[in-house]
Amino acid sequence: MEQRISFITLVVADVEASRRFYADGLGWEPEMHVAGEVLMLRMGERLILSLWDRMAAEHEIGPVVTGGTPPVTLAHNLPDEEAVDAVLAEARAAGAEIVAEPRRREWGGYSGYFADPDGYRWEIACNPGPIGQSVL
């Protein structure tokens, strides 16, 4: 099997609330949108972020547990601290809850976190190390 991920699917309570946040608020372009069912956003050449309605998801994958902080984070890496601050301000303006203000981290980078409408945590970071620089 080739080592790659093609889709990251997040189960959401309200696809239209997610569309308002990601497309209207953050300005991301939907690749596909079926009202009330799914919103797909191209994140890279061969990577799609799929936001899938809970009822449709449960029909296919079984019961979905909700509540608390989801045990996953998504990260957006940027070249400098000013860009991190700017993206977090944009997320706040789009209605995101800032769950961790940006600060310098012990691993040598700078990051903060916001929560989307379903509580998924996005890390907005400047990672100056080789692996961080490789994804810019």
In tens, the pLDDT along 7-49 reads: 999 999 999 999 999 999 999 999 999 999 999 999 999 999 9
Share of the chain above pLDDT 90, in %: 95
In tens, the pLDDT along 38-77 reads: 999 999 999 999 999 999 999 999 999 888 888 899 999 9
In a domain, 1, yes or no: no
In tens, the pLDDT along 70-105 reads: 889 999 999 999 999 999 999 999 999 999 999 999
Instruction: DSSP letter for 107, please.
Output: T
The first and second tokens of residue 105, run together, are 């981290």
Query: Of 131, 43, 128, whose CA–CA distance to 83 is shortest?
Result: 128
Say if residue 53 is in the same domain as residue 80: no
The first and second tokens of residue 94, run together, are 């789009």
In the block, residue with structure tokens 């069912």:
37
Q: How many domains does the chain contain in total?
A: 2
- Give the CATH number for residue 87: 3.10.180.10
Distance CA 63, CA 132 (A): 35
3-state secondary structure of 10: strand
In the block, residue with structure tokens 């990251």:
8
Q: Backbone phi, then psi, for 100, in 5-degree steps? A: -150, 115
| Residue 50 domain boundaries | 7-61
